[in-house]
Structures are given as C-alpha cells and as structure tokens.
Structure 1
C-alpha cells in the first residue's frame, strides 16, 4: 500500500478534516504552486465522496474510529509522479487490520462520480459506486483483474487506474511515524 503526501503538510492527513476555510487555503496553495490543477468544486465533491465512504464503511464495518480516512493506493506508487505529493510511505497490506480498511476500484472520487452521476452512466462498470471490504475486493480482483495498464488501451476501463484503500483507524500509523528517520 502506498500513501503519497506533501512533506510540507505531513503524512496521513485528510483535507476534509479541516474547516472549509482551512481546506480552501490548502487547495489554493496547491493550485497556485502549479503542481496540480484544482477544480473550483473540488472540496464540495470531496466532501460528498467522503460522506458516502463513511456511510458505506459504517454499514460494512461498524462505526469507524476515524471520521475522515487516510488514503492509500494498492501497490507501490512511490514513483514521485504526483508533484503535489512527492513523498511516500509504502506499507504491506498485512500491516492494517481488516476491520479498519475499505477499498474503492477505482479511487473513491472517480468511483463515486461514476457510480451515481447520470451523465456518466454509459461509462459505469459494476464495481463503480461501491465500497469493498478486503474479502470483497479479493473476489472482485479475481473476476475483474487488477487495474494495471489496461485503462490505456481498453476504453471501457479508462477510469480504472487505481485501487484505493481507506484506512479508518490511525493506530496502525503510530508505528510508522515512530519508524521514520529524523529529517
């Protein structure tokens, strides 16, 4: 699992845990930096996505310890290609308790939009707009396969670039923070 982050802001953060004003300031700084394009409705879309994720997590796993998850991608994505988040923690999936993780395929923002927007219905696949437990994800991957690079050549899979993990408990992160070398 890979968690990418901006070292100036720190690892294991969630924008939605901030007030609208503070989150807006972070997004404005990212936009001004030129490292990543930020749409004007990003925060509203992000908050809607997170409300959906929380509801689905609560239904599948019970009330989570965190209201706002920490995001990871399945696989080693520590390639530095996202200039707005050039640093990474790569952690084995086994480090996380199964009762504190959910997944979306693709990432949650894309999955939510594809699953629920009528104008995207023609691009919707059966796994879009769904949140999975680890065992459900394993079954889905056996059936649909991993994202890999199929999205480059298969227009039906154009959105399926990543599998995202949402971590709903920060306890597993404590050992990671302690293990980091001093800056």
Structure 2
C-alpha cells in the first residue's frame, strides 16, 4: 500500500466535502449536482446525505474503539491504489495521489469497499469484511489475503466492492499535498 488516491471533478478541485457543510447547504449542493445525471453524484438516491452522516459517525466510533485517533468530525475520502473506474464518476475527472508516508496512519480508517455497501443490510453475502472498519495494520493484512478489488473486480461483476475506501480523519496531510502539488 504505497499511494492513496482522491478522485474529484477537475473544475471544482480536490477534497471538497459535502459532510463539512451544514445539512441544508449540503442538500442544495447535492440538488444542483443532481441536474447532471451523467455523473455519479447526480444519481444519488433520496436520503443519501442522512445515510452518509450516519455511516460516517458509525465509522468514526468503530475506528476510535480500535484505537484510531480522528482529528476531524467527518472524513475526507481516498482509495488505496489507482482506480480508473472512479474517474468515470466525473465529467472531467482528476486525481490527487499521496504517498502513505505523508499520513499518520492512526488518523486513517479503511473499509473493504465503499461505506455504503459495506454497511448495507441489502448486501448479505457473509464476507468477513462486511460491516467492519479497519486500521492501517488490519487493512494491510486484508489486502494480503484478498488483494485490491479494483484488480479482481474491475468490471463490478463479482460484488459491490470496487476499491478500498480510506476515511481520512486529518486535514494536515491533505494541505501539505496541495502545497507540494503532488498528483
């Protein structure tokens, strides 16, 4: 696990987080995005933000219980390794690539797949990584066991996991990467 990637709409810029906004503002932004059905965010279901807030707080609590040290109240999102499929979520996608050594790994939690299917009651396939949040050390072991979903499930035909999501609970390494222009 060398690099973490963050995919975003090039015109908007990286690390723009709906969860940082008050609920009414987040709803307005999401509504404006929904007018463009060609991008992934334009296809979000009703209740998306409410469920996102719930999952973020669940992930934070589980991470703290494992000894994690979040600085932020809500995470920024990255993925382990490159995942070109995520670029298709945007009209003009771009990515920031940051080496794992730029982070205090005690401020990173992981889910094997996106938080939504990982904690969805509709996804009941018995896989050990469902319904769980992992520390850095735990995720290294899980990757050793299963590999990267974007490699073994590139087309999405083998389940909902298409990448390993990283919940970044600290702004500092993200600000440093912007100054460096790391991409």
Measured in 1, the distance between the counterparts of 2:7 and 2:46 equals 23
The answer on 1:68 being equivalent to 2:70 is: no
Measured in 2, the distance between the counterparts of 1:43 and 1:135 equals 30
5+ residue gaps, structure 2, are none
Higher helix share: 1
User: Do the aligned residues in 1 keep the contact of 2:8 with 2:90 (CA within 8 Å)?
Assistant: no
- In structure 2, the residue matched to 1:4 is 7
Shift of residue 153, structure 1, vs aligned partner: 8.0
For residues 1-41 of structure 1, the C-alpha deviation after alignment (integer angstroms, 9 at most, x for no partner) is 11112244432232112111111111111110222312112
5+ residue gaps, structure 1, are none
Measured in 1, the distance between the counterparts of 2:133 and 2:108 equals 10
Count residues in correspondence: 175
For residues 79-114 of structure 1, the C-alpha deviation after alignment (integer angstroms, 9 at most, x for no partner) is 73221571210112222111111110011122121x
- In structure 1, the residue matched to 2:18 is 15
TM-score (structure 2 length as normaliser): 0.84
User: Do the aligned residues in 1 keep the contact of 2:108 with 2:135 (CA within 8 Å)?
Assistant: yes
TM-score (structure 1 length as normaliser): 0.84
For residues 25-75 of structure 1, the C-alpha deviation after alignment (integer angstroms, 9 at most, x for no partner) is 111111102223121121111111111111112212345210111110111
